[in-house]
Structure 1
Amino acid sequence: MRLADDEKAMLDGAEGPAVAAAMDLLVRYGEALGAERLCDIRNVAGTMTQPSPVKARLVREHGWHKAYATINLDSDGDFEIPHMRVPTCQLQHGFGEDALGVAPYPRELVQLQQDAESYYGAHGVNILATCTPYQVGNLPVRGEHCAWMESSAVVYANSVLGARTNCEGTASTGAASLTGKIPCWGNHLPRNRYGTHLIEAAVPVDGFLDWGMLGYFVGDAVQENRPVVVGDLRRPDLADLKHFGAATASSGGVEIYHIPGITPEAPTLEAAFGGAAVPETIVYGERERRTVYETLNDQGESTDVDFVLLGCPHASLDQIARAARALEGRRLNPGTELWIMAPRALRTVADRSGYTEIIQRAGGRVLTDSCPAMSRVAPEGTRVFATDSAKQAHYLPAILGIEAWFGTLEECVDAAVTGTWRGELT
């Protein structure tokens, strides 16, 4: 891999041992990938503050510097960590103080995370604490090279924003933060961003539920390739596109998709494929829609719902408002809990707008920073949960060993109020 002069200097220790270790990792990583060079970045979204038993031990025995070196740089070194070289944000992590007494999450991990926030905040990490950083201020521009983690954030950045990032890991983002570099391969290269498969929706796709189901079908159909989606598509909003992308990355491994006339790199169908021949169409029709719905609901047997989860990826303000409207004047079933996961910044707006009060008055909770899949906790005794997220319906039964129902936000709220799942495909 060819290194520029500034990159050679970092590797040789001109900016200290931590930066040298970071550059060494990136060189090894890039060579393993077959990258020819590194590209300059100015936007990192990673995980520094996520608590874990390993991190707790490292901090207790050696301090935060050693924890960063080991976990975020894959290094055995014990050196001071400098200020982040480029703007860096923390994605979602463990539950915070607002979950104490609500989620069965250890208080010591909450404290460890608070300590981490203080340390990394002082070193230049913006603690956004959400899987949707683009909802709360981290909005890379079209064509900007980034180093982001989290599959739903990556597919949104590439597809909706037109930024350029691969789905990075804890160590590569840790190294990128200190160097402003990342291997230039995959989605960073224009030739790797053109569509490979054509999907046509032969049924109307309108609203959160249908965008999620279409995404789940698309991901399964193309796996790690690059779909171009056309057909009977009603204009999506932010929540629809984040839900669609998250579903494609769950059932497959999609990191970029194109919707001609909607996403920025696909003004036309021809542009989406880079002028190459348009492939044979994969049709998403009524039968496929029904199959996706049944697949997402094949992990539920009991209709007695004891947990309802909304906000995966983290809820937008509009989604929180919809939940509040659906709950107004109602009360949750005594045996059912409702959690709405949201970025803390949007929770503040929801508080000021009166949405949180309505939700809490009904017995629900707006929680921040994490989710049951990330923190691996649900209300104690949970056996059956309901969600409007195809991503959570896909993952949470395997992670927590519980049954799942998938439906609309309104059906989920109804389940929270009645304690019974009554959703159906219309």
Structure 2
Amino acid sequence: MKYVIIGGVAAGMSAAMEIKRTDDSAEITVLERGKDYSYGQCGLPYVVNGLIPSTEKVIARTVETFREKYGIDARVHTKVTSVDTENQQVFSFYLDSDQPFTLTYDRLLIATGSDPILPEWPGMDLDGIHTLKTLRDTNALMDDITERVEHVTIVGAGYIGLEMAESFRSIGKKVTLIQRGDQLAKIFDEDMSKLIEKEAVYHQVDIKLEEEVTGFSGKNRVEAVMTDKGTYSTDLVLVSAGVKPNTKFLQDTGIQMNREGAIRVNAYMETSIPNVYAAGDCATHYHIIKQLDDYIPLGTTSNKQGRIAGANMAGNPITFKGIVGTSIMKFFDLALGRTGITETEAERLSIPYEVEIREDTNHASYYPGVETLHTKLIYHQKTNQLLGGQMIGRQGVDKRIDVLATALYNQMTIQQLQDLDLAYAPPYNSVWDPLQKISRKT
């Protein structure tokens, strides 16, 4: 059986390894447009500020490991131009030499991930304007952070924008954060986002909300960012305006996609075309709470979908159960956690809901080192089923968000949180966990 995988990072290599476990005789060819395989993109902001010493440290397995230990034909610097789904062929070429080649497949996995959104702003070709998605991006950015760079401007306040604001501040750079919307971190509701904004201001991040970037100016290197409200001098720019699925090369294949360009897949990671599968940041993700296909590109989901795709491609039918939209990030001294849907999403989906908000402590109030936890729960107005939760604080956010994610996966009601047997000792919790205290209000 010949397997071809397009994309050699999270989903692609999770699939390749699962195929190897399931089908000993598999012939696997992986096509990767970069030079690096199987690395943790989420660790890149911490490479920039030196917490992780180099990009090599975020590589899980090297290209050589896949070739020599697992017998995978792992190719680098290859670009796929098109796929003939009728004759089951992939057309590609080597970026280093422009030499074309064609592969036939019995099973094909599209795991091409996502690309940064780069609006066609004037001046985008100036030196000093960066994105952060790959190891190459990271190394280029680090090479450009010299002593002459005193002021950095970040465009976009999502995951990468916020993490990089912290990263640049930690190495002594002045930071301006420009967001076209009216709040930071749109994955949170506005009231919770105010806590994030307060933390940013405390750490001297200059925030510009409701400003639209219109272009960049400079001679050879960027010197200023222009918006619809002003012009700001800068020494370096990081564009973090979101991502889009890398699927443009599939437009004439008949493979069904959503309006964002994400490939529609079923629970077996199958596309609308026989023998073609998709997984990760280029595919849709079934959302258990919304009960529809969503697009929330995260590393955890990519690895899960990749493993499931590989198993099904190799003849071991297992299904992807879906996501509940769980994520957490570090922002200066705070942990920002969320799962399920927000109040904003509930309104957009016309779901009747109620909200509970509570400020509590991360452990017993009499034990030293107590910190504040801000918690918001959303639940169904009629059934009391949990719909989502957001939590922000210095300590204890991670364990509670995972509890909520588990509760959402199992479609529990807000009252059933009170019945959970959660760990307690004064250094870690109160006799009633904050999630149980907030659930008693209903």
Structure label with greater radius of gyration: 2
More helix by share: 1
TM-score (norm 1): 0.30
Q: Which has the higher contact order (CA 8 A, sep 6+)?
A: 1
TM-score (norm 2): 0.29
More strand by share: 2
